[in-house]
Amino acid sequence: MFNKIFESGKIGNLEIKNRMIVPPMLTEYANEDGSINERFIRYYEEKAKGDFGLIIIEDTAVERRGAGFMCLPGLWSDELSKKHIELTNRVKAHGAKIAVQLYHAGREGSSSVNGGVQIVAPSAIQDPTNLELPHELTTEEVRELVEKFAQAARRAKEAGYDAVELHGAHGYLVNQFVSPYSNKRTDEFGGTFMNRLKFPLDIIKRIKELNGHDFPIIYRITADEMVEGGLNINDTKMIVPILEKEGIAAVHVSASVYKSGYWASAPTTAPTTPFVKYAAEIKTVVDSIPVIAVNKINTPFIAENILKEGKADFVSMGRASIADPYLPKKTKEGKINDIVFCVGCWQGCQGMIAKQKPVTCLVNPSVGKEEEYTVKEAEIKKKVMVVGGGVAGMQAAIIASKRGHDVSLYEKTEKLGGQWLLAAVPPGKEPLNTFTVWQKHQLNVNKVKVYTGIEVTEELIRKVNPNHIILATGANPIMPKIPGINLPHVVQANDILSGKELMKNNAVIIGGGLVGAEVAEQYGEHVMGVTVVEMTSEIAGGMEMAPKKFLMKHLNESRVKLMVNTKVIEIKSNSVVIECEGKIEEIGAEQVVIAIGSKSENILEPLIKDKYKYNVIGDATKVGRALEAIEMGYVAGISI
């Protein structure tokens, strides 16, 4: 079934044991001075243990001025390279090959994280997503940067890296030189097509002079910048053969820049493998170098098909490797049901990076905490009772059982999954179901006794007589005190998502937070005349950037009317009275949907707090995101 992904392959003279690559992805695990640490090393070592063939270390700055994030690794000095020797040795010990991506943010950097100096660029033009005006590099300064890239490559080779990747994508400095969108120079590094290519070509040439012509250089490229006046796939098809002639060993095909950057890590609702088409196009113009495909390749089935269809020679499985660093190993051993698949939620990876915080993962709470979150056998085996079968409760039950405890899980409804099941209902959110499928499989594998359709009472707790209780009872929808709230055409958002209530035309959704906005998206797919009324100034406030952009796009296409800074005064039998900017008006409504949030349900805690040892986790303690709830479950499981 999986023949292609386990074939060995070559990048230059580098033999790689399979076709699955971990691409460079920023983690914010490095130290602020650019050095790396045990957390950083352990994160990458885990992927090597999991049998990925090639691991490419994240954006590594060639000078401090080129850092675009606070905790970014650097190779701008010999001193910084010393710790990388330990990293390369530990990764190679598990049979993986290791490369490092050489990077400079250019105009996408920030003086707030690079030591307080002005950012630089080919031309003194602001990036549309950055308020800082860059310094236009002089010709001599460009030549100095060529040398800095080459010296960083030298340090990489001396530290034991098998290859380097030149970051020529996503609107960073190398990409800025190549693109007419950002390069308006008139010297030898700008103007004509070949002049704009001179910067990366000079870097490649100098790296080879310092490290030998056999040292592999991978080139990360943006096939289509997706901005007016930028590079497109036809330009890139002319660029890649020139890079190949200069001696690159592989081309790693991505797309987009910051202006369009939500595509670079496609969220749940985006099409699967949106950039593979570009890799396939590049395959038609290369002579002999391998082409690497990337973006939302999150299962071995998808990866295998890409290779079988000849669209690429290697596949990068970035967020898939965060969700489960052991994906290749489990696939090879036929344990597909044990793989934790990335659901594209953005909460733990890109969402955290946007906040300048370390990466974590909704479906894998142990990422970046591999040591402290190691599941070890408990010294004393206990009887553990988990109350609530949502994602937090199931996670707690799984981990506690793995530690050897006798675990029983009780869920008052007939189905496991809780609110997560409803989160998977809106258009394009179906992949979320893969996580609850995995959790239910793990409950079975780890012999957790599961009881559904049973509401836990104090009497039942006495009968079970557990040593430890985990309360994961979730939350209930809030019913606001609005006149008319009890009219028959008023329904809860959860009842719409669960199918208990049918959608009707001319619906007014009260509440434009995450749930309300996604319910509106569901309505927009099926009925006409939908209005969302939100008290604050923002629809889907707090939602991660990329998922939100797709959501807002869908709402716009479905002609859902969005009203912000608007208060509901009264619900009538066929209308809703609202106040907006001091004006009172009525809008017609055949159906009114309440989606203003939830409140914790935790009626059992007062009954057990003086009698049993217990934890309260997830929404039962504080209504929040699944990211935090699942980690609470994990921590509860390892702490018993």
CB atoms inside a 10 Å sphere around CB 136:
15
Three-state DSSP class for 507?
Answer: strand
Q: What is the total residue count of the chain?
A: 640
Phi, psi of 467 (to 5 degrees): -80, -25
Cα–Cα distance measured from residue 349 to residue 531, given in angstroms and rounded to the nearest whole number = 32
> Residue 545 to residues 259, 341, 429, 541, 559: CA-CA distances in angstroms?
12, 21, 16, 10, 21
Strand-pairing partners, residue 490, are 592
Phi, psi of 432 (to 5 degrees): -60, -25
Decide if 507 contacts 496 (C-beta within 8 A).
Answer: no
Question: How far is it between the farthest Cα atoms of the chain?
Answer: 83
**Is 384 exposed, middle or buried, given 0-12, 13-18 or 19+ CB atoms closer than 10 A?**
buried
Cα–Cα distance measured from residue 142 to residue 226, given in angstroms and rounded to the nearest whole number = 26
Cα–Cα distance measured from residue 412 to residue 416, given in angstroms and rounded to the nearest whole number = 9
- The DSSP string of 250-282 is EEEEE---GGGGGGTT--TTSPSSTTHHHHHHH
Cα–Cα distance measured from residue 174 to residue 224, given in angstroms and rounded to the nearest whole number = 15
How far does CA 365 lie from the centroid of its chain?
Answer: 13
β-strand pairing of 14-16 with 9-11: antiparallel
Decide if 19 contacts 7 (C-beta within 8 A).
Answer: yes
Which residue is catalytic, options 103, 172, 219, 326? 172
What is the enclosing helix (H) or strand (E) of 531? strand 530-533
CB atoms inside a 10 Å sphere around CB 122:
26
What is the enclosing helix (H) or strand (E) of 557? helix 545-557
Q: What letter does residue 300 receive in the DSSP assignment?
A: H
CB atoms inside a 10 Å sphere around CB 528:
12
Cα–Cα distance measured from residue 441 to residue 433, given in angstroms and rounded to the nearest whole number = 12
How far does CA 358 lie from the centroid of its chain?
Answer: 12
**Strands of 507-510's sheet in order across:** 490-492, 591-594, 507-510, 530-533, 561-563
Per DSSP (E only), the strands in 122-278 are 135-136, 163-168, 217-222, 250-254
Cα–Cα distance measured from residue 287 to residue 279, given in angstroms and rounded to the nearest whole number = 14
From 295, 266, 297, 291, select the one nearest 279 (Cα to Cα): 291
Whether 258 is a known active-site residue: answer no
Cα–Cα distance measured from residue 220 to residue 346, given in angstroms and rounded to the nearest whole number = 22
The two structure tokens encoding residue 498: 């669960």
Measure the CA angle with vertex 598, ends 453 and 456; round to 5°: 25
> Residue 128 to residues 119, 223, 256, 258, 260: CA-CA distances in angstroms?
14, 20, 13, 8, 10
From 161, 141, 154, 23, select the one nearest 76 (Cα to Cα): 154
Residues designated catalytic: 172
